[in-house]
Amino acid sequence: MKTIRHKSSSRPAPSRELAELRARLSDAEETVRAIRTGEVDAVVVAGKQGPQVFTLQGAEHVYRVLIESMSEGALTLTADKTILYANQCFARMVKCPLEQVMGSSFRRFLSAEGRTMLRSLLKRADRFGSKIQVLLNAGDGSHTPAQISIRPLTKSGFNGATIGMVLADMTEARQTEKKLRALTHRVVQVQEAERGRVALELHDNITQLLCAVLFRSQALADKLSPRDGPARREAMRLHEMLGKTAEEVERISRNLRPGVLEQMGLIAVLRATSTGFAHRTGVPVKLACVQLTARLPADTELTLYRILQEALKNVEKHARARHVTVRLTQQGAFVQLVINDDGIGFDPDHHPAGRRGKGGLGLLGMRERATYVGGNLKVKSVRRAGTEIEVRIPLPPNATATN
């Protein structure tokens, strides 16, 4: 068993300063080597309240070899966040020599926000451990995203419970997430382009053919004499069905790529969509919009339209609502769209992709669309008390809104 004592001393005389520094450096290197190889059971650190003994539990060589082979950072802290032990992986994460990490405060590697998060987490951490994500301040001034897993350890007997931490470098995960978002964004762009192509085909070809057949069916019905009563009635029914089919194809074409959005703007398409929903379902929609004095970017208008479209589709399929309210307002530098229904509600946490995991884009797709244009989407829903969907998107600098 071996114990290392760290002594505090007054400043040496100039003639002895160089020798003293060399001796202290040699002592520090020997301390680090002894700790890493498991030769040390305790470290004595001089502090404001006098020398304190820190017992290094589980310091056997086999465990240290295991910890040093980890691809994550590993730390053991005192209750006041002093680093008793750190592996080389953590030193590489913060880009500091290991000897400068050991014995220092873990707080030095956290921003003010990170310290607040850590302090709050430690208050509620239990024996099952807890996790947070923070940015670590590296020695070269850079920042490393990391996920910290925290577990309180057994009481050491001198100043409360010690803390065990495992830190995973999230840099690669963040980059992968960024690439996935970019890929998803590209997929949505391709999807919108394909919708536009299909809408054009429907409008220019299928709708025109249906209209031609509609006129021919009317001409055929007009040629039938009153003596051909049953045949004439059948021709009129056929004419009516063709008319409804042409209207449905036109509606699908507008939903795929609403020309009114490009020609007349966001408010016109929100009004048309709400009116169409009310006529189709019998559920009244109250629409309240501010008048934007400048056009929003095309991507922003399309995002708000698609979110309203998806929200109303979910109301129609699942909500059993009696009323729907749609509000478009400006909140500071943001445009805000809020859709409320008084339906049966649902639990957003158990339906991340939409109610019952269905509904086209679903909640996940709606959130992704809002993220594409720099906004965010919130869902509030209580069973038997309705649902509120709120999306906030930043306005361009030259866009203002008035009532």
Three-state DSSP string of 92-150: HHHCCCHHHHCCCEHHHHECHHHHHHHHHHHHHCCCCCEEEEEEEECCCCCEEEEEEEE
What is the predicted pLDDT for the residue at 359? 39
Binning pLDDT at 50, 70 and 90, where does residue 357 land? very low
The C-alpha atoms of residue 112 and residue 121 are separated, in whole angstroms, by 14
Mean pLDDT value of segment 2-25: 61
Question: CA dist 95 to 135, 140, 165, 301, Å?
Answer: 13, 7, 18, 45
The C-alpha atoms of residue 276 and residue 63 are separated, in whole angstroms, by 68
Q: Please give the CATH topology (third level) of the domain spanning 3-169.
A: Beta-Lactamase (3.30.450)
The C-alpha atoms of residue 38 and residue 15 are separated, in whole angstroms, by 36
The model's pLDDT over 228-254, given as tens digits with 9 standing for 90+, comes to: 778 888 888 888 898 888 888 888 887
Q: Which residue has the higher pLDDT, 163 or 14?
A: 163
The model's pLDDT over 361-399, given as tens digits with 9 standing for 90+, comes to: 578 888 888 988 889 999 998 888 899 999 999 987 765
Domain 261-403 CATH (choose: 3.40.50.1240, 3.30.565.10, 3.40.50.10780, 3.30.70.20): 3.30.565.10
Place of tokens 């065990």: 164
What is the predicted pLDDT for the residue at 59? 46
Q: What percent of the chain has pLDDT over 90?
A: 21
The model's pLDDT over 286-337, given as tens digits with 9 standing for 90+, comes to: 999 987 767 888 889 989 999 999 999 999 988 899 999 999 998 878 899 9
Binning pLDDT at 50, 70 and 90, where does residue 160 land? very low
| H helix or E strand, kind and range, residue 252 | helix 229-256
Mean pLDDT value of segment 133-155: 85
Task: Kindly provide the b/e burial profile for residues 306-326, where b requires at least 16 CB atoms within 10 angstroms of the residue's own CB.
Answer: bbbbbbbbbbbebbebeebbb
Nearest to 280 by CA among 307, 304, 315, 329: 315
Average pLDDT, the chain: 79
Nearest to 306 by CA among 377, 348, 256: 256
What is the predicted pLDDT for the residue at 1? 44
**In the predicted model, is pLDDT for residue 9 greater than 70?**
no
Are 375 and 395 in contact, with CB atoms under 8 Å apart?
Answer: no
Question: CA dist 279 to 85, 252, 272, 314, 323, Å?
Answer: 69, 15, 11, 16, 13
Among 25-39, 80-94, 209-223, which stretch is predicted with the lowest mean pLDDT? 25-39
Q: What is the CA radius of gyration of the chain?
A: 34
Segments making up each domain of the chain, as ranges: 3-169, 171-257, 261-403
What amino acid occupies position 313?
K
What is the predicted pLDDT for the residue at 257? 75
The model's pLDDT over 48-83, given as tens digits with 9 standing for 90+, comes to: 666 655 555 544 555 666 777 788 899 888 888 888
Question: CA dist 102 to 82, 159, 209, Å?
Answer: 8, 18, 79
**In the predicted model, is pLDDT for residue 164 greater than 80?**
yes
The C-alpha atoms of residue 60 and residue 322 are separated, in whole angstroms, by 68
The C-alpha atoms of residue 89 and residue 227 are separated, in whole angstroms, by 95
What is the predicted pLDDT for the residue at 338? 96
The C-alpha atoms of residue 286 and residue 322 are separated, in whole angstroms, by 12
Nearest to 198 by CA among 244, 146, 160, 253: 253
Q: Which residue has the higher pLDDT, 403 or 269?
A: 269
Mean pLDDT value of segment 191-204: 81
The C-alpha atoms of residue 377 and residue 367 are separated, in whole angstroms, by 5
Q: What percent of the chain has pLDDT over 70?
A: 78
What number of other Cβ atoms are within 10 A of residue 210's Cβ?
19
Binning pLDDT at 50, 70 and 90, where does residue 103 land? confident
Q: Residue 331: is it exposed, middle or buried by C-beta count within 10 angstroms (0-12/13-18/19+)?
A: exposed
